[in-house]
Amino acid sequence: LKEFEKGLSEHHLALGPDGMTVLSRAITEHNIVAISHLYSNISLSRLGGILDETPAQVEILASNMIAEERLKARIDQLSQYMLFDEFDSDAKSVSGWARNAHPGHLMFDRIRRRAFACCAQGTPLYFDAHSLVVRRAWWSPADTASLMAGYMATVIGSPIAQASVVDGMQMMAGLKRVQVRELRQMLEAITGFDQRNKYIVKDEAGRELFYAVEESNACERNCYPPDCAPWDLHIYVLGPKGLQGDLIHWLTVHRPCTCTCFCANRPVAYVTETSTDQLLGTLHDPYACCDLTFKIKDAAGNDVITGVGGCCQWGMCCPLPCGPCQHIGLQLSDSMNNSEVGKVDKYWMWGDCCPICFKEQDNYWITFGEVENPRWKALLLALGIFMDFRYFTQRNQA
Where residue 12 falls among pLDDT bands split at 50, 70, 90? low
Where residue 99 falls among pLDDT bands split at 50, 70, 90? very low
How far apart, in whole angstroms, are the C-alpha atoms of residue 315 and residue 351? Answer: 15
How far apart, in whole angstroms, are the C-alpha atoms of residue 348 and residue 329? Answer: 12
**Is 1-84 a domain of CATH 3.10.450.50?**
no
Asked whether the predicted pLDDT for residue 318 surpasses 60, the reply is yes
How far apart, in whole angstroms, are the C-alpha atoms of residue 82 and residue 60? Answer: 12
**Which backbone phi and psi does 301 adopt, to 5 degrees?**
90, 10
How far apart, in whole angstroms, are the C-alpha atoms of residue 164 and residue 247? Answer: 10
Q: Quick check: pTM over 0.75?
A: no
State mean pLDDT over 71-79: 84
Instruction: Identify any residues that bridge with 294 across adjacent strands, giving them in sequence order.
Output: 307
pLDDT value at residue 38: 85
Select from 367, 363, 378, 311 the least CA-distant residue to 343. 367
pLDDT value at residue 86: 55
Specify which of 123-137, 295-309, 384-398 reaches the highest per-range mean pLDDT: 295-309
pLDDT value at residue 146: 44
Give pLDDT tens digits for 16-31. Answer: 666 787 778 888 899 9
Whether the Cβ atoms of residue 264 and residue 47 lie closer than 8 Å to each other: no
Name residues whose C-beta falls within 8 Å of residue 161's C-beta, 6 or more positions apart in sequence: 104, 155, 275
pLDDT value at residue 147: 41
pLDDT value at residue 60: 87
State mean pLDDT over 365-381: 94
Asked whether the predicted pLDDT for residue 153 surpasses 50, the reply is no
3-state secondary structure 16-68: CCCCCCHHHHHHHHHHHHHHHCCCCEEEHHHHHHHHCCCHHHHHHHHHHHHHC
How far apart, in whole angstroms, are the C-alpha atoms of residue 270 and residue 256? Answer: 9
Q: Which residue has the higher pLDDT, 323 or 76?
A: 323
Asked whether the predicted pLDDT for residue 42 surpasses 80, the reply is yes
State mean pLDDT over 304-312: 89
State mean pLDDT over 104-119: 44
Give pLDDT tens digits for 221-279. Answer: 889 998 899 999 999 999 888 888 888 999 999 999 999 888 888 999 999 998 888 99
Name residues whose C-beta falls within 8 Å of residue 256's C-beta, 6 or more positions apart in sequence: 230, 268, 270
Whether the Cβ atoms of residue 16 and residue 25 lie closer than 8 Å to each other: yes
Helix (H, G, I), strand (E, B) or coil at 299: coil
Q: Which residue has the higher pLDDT, 158 or 238?
A: 238
Average pLDDT, the chain: 78
Asked whether the predicted pLDDT for residue 101 surpasses 70, the reply is no
pLDDT value at residue 312: 82
Select from 65, 28, 24 the least CA-distant residue to 48. 28
pLDDT value at residue 133: 41
Portion of the chain with pLDDT greater than 90, in percent: 35
pLDDT value at residue 139: 37
DSSP-assigned letters across all residues of 220-270: HHHTS-TTT--EEEEEEEEETTEEEEEEEEEEEEEE-----BTTBS--EEE
pLDDT value at residue 103: 43
Name the CATH superfamily, with its identifier, for domain 168-396: LURP1-related (2.40.160.200)
pLDDT value at residue 2: 63
Neighbours of 214 (CB within 10 A): 21
Asked whether the predicted pLDDT for residue 206 surpasses 90, the reply is yes
State mean pLDDT over 65-84: 86
Where residue 4 falls among pLDDT bands split at 50, 70, 90? low
Backbone CA torsion sign across 85, 276, 128, 8: positive
Whether the Cβ atoms of residue 188 and residue 395 lie closer than 8 Å to each other: no
pLDDT value at residue 77: 75
Beginning with the edge strand found earlier in the chain, give each strand of the sheet holding 73-76 in spatial order.
41-43, 81-84, 73-76
Asked whether the predicted pLDDT for residue 34 surpasses 70, the reply is yes
Where residue 94 falls among pLDDT bands split at 50, 70, 90? very low
Q: List the chain domain ranges.
A: 1-84, 168-396
pLDDT value at residue 131: 36
- What type of residue is 152? M
Asked whether the predicted pLDDT for residue 315 surpasses 50, the reply is yes
Portion of the chain with pLDDT greater than 70, in percent: 75
Treating both helix axes as pointing N-terminal to C-terminal, what angle do 141-151 and 103-120 enclose, rounded to 10 degrees? 160
Asked whether the predicted pLDDT for residue 118 surpasses 70, the reply is no
How far apart, in whole angstroms, are the C-alpha atoms of residue 125 and residue 140? Answer: 10
Beta strands in 125-189 (DSSP E): 125-127, 134-136, 177-182
Asked whether the predicted pLDDT for residue 15 surpasses 90, the reply is no
Burial class (CB within 10 angstroms; exposed 0-12, middle 13-18, buried 19+) of 54? middle
pLDDT value at residue 100: 42
